[in-house]
Structure 1
């Protein structure tokens, strides 16, 4: 009986010591200083909530081991994530987002593609800063494959135009193609008519000089650039 009691107490002491060691491990390597960079689509808090899903993730060693040997969860619009430990309680997380140039709406979803026309993501809600193409019709899509569209003749033009808008940091809401394949842009209550051309480089370069200022001043109106030539004046006709 005495021997049984001794074994019982020994087991309890071992268990208590083990729990103390576990608690010490979690407290000593608790993730206190988390630096997240590279986020545009998500805020740092949103990214943190998605990455740190459990109690174990709040330990710098366990989180780093998960990153190295298991892999972090897939997050929409994120290409990859790298993690570095910074001291005992720090983590430095670098987010590499997918480079999206435009989207089309298909079967109630926004389908996003890159400059090569490869589908990278889809979502129920639109993403700010990424233009939606109106007048382009998809035959269907598969992630990480080329977007299948009916209007193949203008798709290359759409890709070029989308890249131009990104180059000049113009946040366009919609790029619209009519039946005559003429281009119209929409940006916060301003409509820009570009007409039908093979290249829009000069028009977009000139537009970049006036559009951001008009948006900052919350102006509404129309800009006609169908007959624009290099050096021409760009005029916004305001609408009350």
Structure 2
């Protein structure tokens, strides 16, 4: 009996040994698989960092905003050296957009080249400070550009005298009621594509210079008044002087022209 019991115990022990070996092999396979996956993941991450490292940035659509300023605003943190990160940042709405832009679009031309397309806010007028700098503003009256020289095709606004001139800040003039009318004049001139060289304010009256003609709009700028300017200028046939539209309205079509007389002469 003792011999039989011994043989039974030996057989049970022999049956358990292969099971233990199988468990050990499974553990080894799992550990091996884990390190393989980890290694593959690290290679993938490293590949992304190396392949998508920004080496070149292309900027299109900018006129007055410098390429350097645009690139600096897009790559504004330490992670922005990676093209995928920058792309994701703008796709998710976390990208920075300078105040002088209507829109900005960021894409990848290839893994190492960023492509930036911008649409700038239109400059509709400018004012000068005492140092001779030119502050250009948009239709909302916000300064979007500062230059050292005047730009062709954009009118000077004389007599506005804002309290503060600062880039990306709105022009403000607390003491003048006519201030908003000046802004309205610049918007209307742009709307009707009139080639204005200067918009002047004197004694709360607004004058607009178009070629050799000064248009007097009074203290109230309306679309009805401005809409008449192109039609009347055609009839004047190159004459010089002041066109009076102060009292022109839907109810009154009064418009007079003083040949050879300008506000400076009358003042």
Q: TM-score, normalised by structure 2?
A: 0.52
Alpha-carbon deviation of 1:158?
0.9
Q: 1:170 aligns with which of 189, 194, 198?
A: 194
Give the RMSD, CA atoms, in angstroms: 4.7
Find the residue that maps to 1:183 and give its secondary structure. strand
Matched, 1:196 2:218: yes
The separation in 1 between residues aligned to 2:144 and 2:168, in whole angstroms, is 6
CA deviation map 1:156-212 (0-9, x unaligned): 111111111121122312101112x2222123x32222241423322211213465x
The residue aligned with 2:117 is 94
Does the 8 A contact of 2:217 with 2:225 survive in 1?
A: no
Aligned runs of 1:24-103 on 2, under 5 Å?
A: 36-37=60-61, 39=62, 41=63, 68=87, 78=101, 81-86=104-109, 93-103=116-126
Q: 1:148 aligns with which of 169, 172, 187?
A: 172
The separation in 2 between residues aligned to 1:84 and 1:182, in whole angstroms, is 49
Larger radius of gyration: 2
The residue aligned with 1:128 is 152
**CA distance 1:126–1:178, change in 2 (3 Å):** same
Q: How many residues align?
A: 195
Q: 1:206 aligns with which of 228, 251, 255?
A: 228
Alpha-carbon deviation of 1:96?
1.3
The separation in 2 between residues aligned to 1:92 and 1:111, in whole angstroms, is 29
CA deviation map 1:56-97 (0-9, x unaligned): xxxxxx89569647xx9x999556542334568997642211
More deviation, 130-139/81-90: 81-90
CA deviation map 1:200-236 (0-9, x unaligned): 322211213465x79xx9x563351335636678879
Does the 8 A contact of 1:101 with 1:115 survive in 2?
A: yes
The residue aligned with 1:59 is none
Alpha-carbon deviation of 1:154?
0.9
Matched, 1:221 2:240: yes
Does the 8 A contact of 1:101 with 1:162 survive in 2?
A: yes
The separation in 2 between residues aligned to 1:77 and 1:117, in whole angstroms, is 12
Higher fraction of helix: 2
Does the 8 A contact of 2:101 with 2:120 survive in 1?
A: yes
The residue aligned with 1:4 is none
The residue aligned with 1:3 is none
Matched, 1:114 2:143: no
Structure 2: runs of 5 or more not aligned: 1-50, 72-80, 90-94, 262-267
